[in-house]
Structure 1
Amino acid sequence: MQLGYLTHVAGHDRPAEVYRETVELAVAAEALGFASFWVAQHHGGAFGGLLPSPLVLLAAVAERTTTIRLGTAVIAAPLENPRRLAEDAAVLEVLSGGRLNLGIGAGADTRASAAFGRDHAARHGDCIDVVDTLCALLEGEELVPGATGLRRRLWWATGSSAGVDAAAARGIGVISGRPPDAPNSTVVDDLTRYWTCVVDDPRVAVSRLVHPGQRADQLAAAWSADPAMPWASELITQTQPVWAGLTTQLHVMRMLAGELAPALTVLSGSSLVLT
């Protein structure tokens, strides 16, 4: 299992300062050995996030890093023109040397849907349409010379059984943030079914929250007992609250890389190596 870090690019400072700090976070994540660095998309400051254009910011991150994979978690696909999204992603894919993880989802912000003139109630069907077009574009013509592997690094963030099945049918990685211990949760059954369906390169990223006051041994115990974790190929961690500043996030990242990774060596009988 690989270890990733997600930031919502939120804060009380001016966006320029938050963007600068996000680039510094990515540089630190690479130095600490994180395998991936993810940024969230938020339109109009929703949920405290300040980043409507994640691919633009990740282009700046690409210039300051060399090995860490760069991810979007996630771009609201129903609000995008799929060809425009595919072209922008292809440019970043080339700039980063083949390090982009393109994460998409249906989106949860009703105000964003209204601002873009979209029917929020139709977002799940619209997401499937965009994803299918995106897949066809990335499998077909070479949008930008050199951007050849991006189709194999698509991720679908979903909280529904239907979404997991749709991702599996297309061989797309799944990002799951659903707590498996919630009442009537189907997450374990869904991920089990996903691994059964996707024979070639199954990818599951489980997203989990970290509060600054939590100790590494507490997190290790909780995540070792997490029934979704054995199905994960990647653990994406994110600091709470989302507007935590650079100092707090760096503290959490150092704890995760320095103390937690060695503690999580065995998980439900499966080898777990965080690199």
Structure 2
Amino acid sequence: MRLGYLTHVTGDDPSRAFRETLRLAERAEELGYDSFWVAQHHDGHLGGRLPSPLVLLAAVAERTRLIRLGTAVVALPLEDPRRLAEDAAVLDALSGGRLELGIGAGADPDAARRFGRHHDDRHRDTLAALDVLLELLPPALATQRTWWATGTSASVDAAAARGVGVLSGRPPAADPSVVADLARYWTYARGGPRVALSRPLPAGHSTGRMIDDLLADPALPWAGEVIVQAQPATAPADVHDEVLERTARFVRPFLGVAGPAHGAEHSAATAAGGPDVDDAPRMRPRPVARTSR
């Protein structure tokens, strides 16, 4: 199982928030995280300062070597899918095939209005734009590294039909349909299922509670990656540092995440221009075994 880290790139000063994010990405790679994800927010929605995630991830690509670079997520109905495909292809080439392109319908009605879109049409618009996007992306990016962050059963089914990975941020405790949706996705996903769980780790919780909450998550057996984020989302840099390090050192072993693939085979694949396809997570539904601590 892979381990990723997500930040919403918040703060009063955008330039400082961007610099802190670059530093956080470098530290995540040092600690052995498999992926680093940034959220898109327009006009400071929910405190987020990053409207252009691919631009910032291009800077991250120049400062890192192995860690995968994710968008969590680009609001697809507000984008021109042709333009997004071109920008994503450039970043993927620049980073040596490390882009993980996460898209979603968007949750900000004000942004939809400012972009001249109808927020109520976002799910229909996402489907239409996604079909264009998948046709234009480089094949490996379209079929292996594109993800859909969705909270609806219909969209999970649409992702399965298109061979798109699912980014699931819905807590099963609040929405019991999550596990059933993921089980159905595993059955019908074209080209092989890919599930990543996005889970908050409140900074005030003990390490033991973080481990207990993650291992008790009924969606965990369906996932090949867990993407954690500090809570609150507007947490300052020192909180991100603490959660990042604590998760890598103490939580990761209980998730069965072995750490960075920095061996000879991975290095050779990277030198050849991209991650080795055999480095993909081995995702099989499985019971989560508790380990004494």
TM over 0.5: yes
Q: Counterparts of 1:106-145 in structure 2 under 5 Å?
A: 106-138=105-137
Please say if 1:170 is aligned against 2:169. no
Matches of 1:111 and 1:32, distance apart in 2: 38
Q: What is the letter of the counterpart of residue 209 of structure 1?
A: P
Q: Deviations over 1:53-102 (max 9, x none)?
A: 00000000000000000000000000000000000000000110000000
**Structure 2 residue 260 is matched with structure 1 residue 269:** no
Q: Which shows bigger deviation, 222-231 or 100-109?
A: 222-231
Match of 1:188 among 176, 179, 182: 179
Q: Deviations over 1:171-196 (max 9, x none)?
A: 0000011010115x310000000011
Unaligned runs of at least 5 residues, structure 2: 258-284
Q: Which residue of 1 aligns with 2:5?
A: 5
CA distance in 2 between partners of 1:262 and 1:120 (Å): 41
Distance 1:131 1:262 in 2: 36
Matches of residues 94-109 of structure 1 in structure 2 within 5 Å?
Answer: 94-109=93-108
1:38-66 CA-partner distances (Å, limit 9, x unpaired): 00000010011000000000000000000
Q: 1:22 to 1:197 in 2, by over 3 A?
A: same
Taking the aligned partners of 1:205 and 1:224, their CA distance within structure 2 comes to 15
Look up the equivalent residue of 1:226 and give its one-letter code: D
Out of 193, 196, 200, the residue aligned to residue 202 of structure 1 is 193
Deviation at 1:247, TM superposition (A): 1.4
TM-score by length of structure 1 reads: 0.92
Aligned length in residues: 262
What displacement does 1:198 show? 1.7
User: Which consecutive aligned stretches of 4+ in structure 1 deviate over 2 angstroms post-superposition?
Assistant: 263-272
Percent same amino acid among aligned pairs?
58
* 2-structure distance, mates of 1:220, 1:180: 16
Q: Which residue of 1 aligns with 2:203?
A: 212
* CA RMSD after TM alignment: 1.6
Aligned-partner SS, 2:26: helix
What's the TM-score once normalised by structure 2's chain length? 0.86
| Structure 1 portions without partners, runs of 5+ | 139-146
Indicate yes or no: 2:84 matched with 1:85: yes
Among candidates 249, 256, 267, match of residue 247 of structure 2: 256
Aligned-pair CA distance for 1:133: 0.2
Contact 1:265 1:271 in 2 (8 A): no
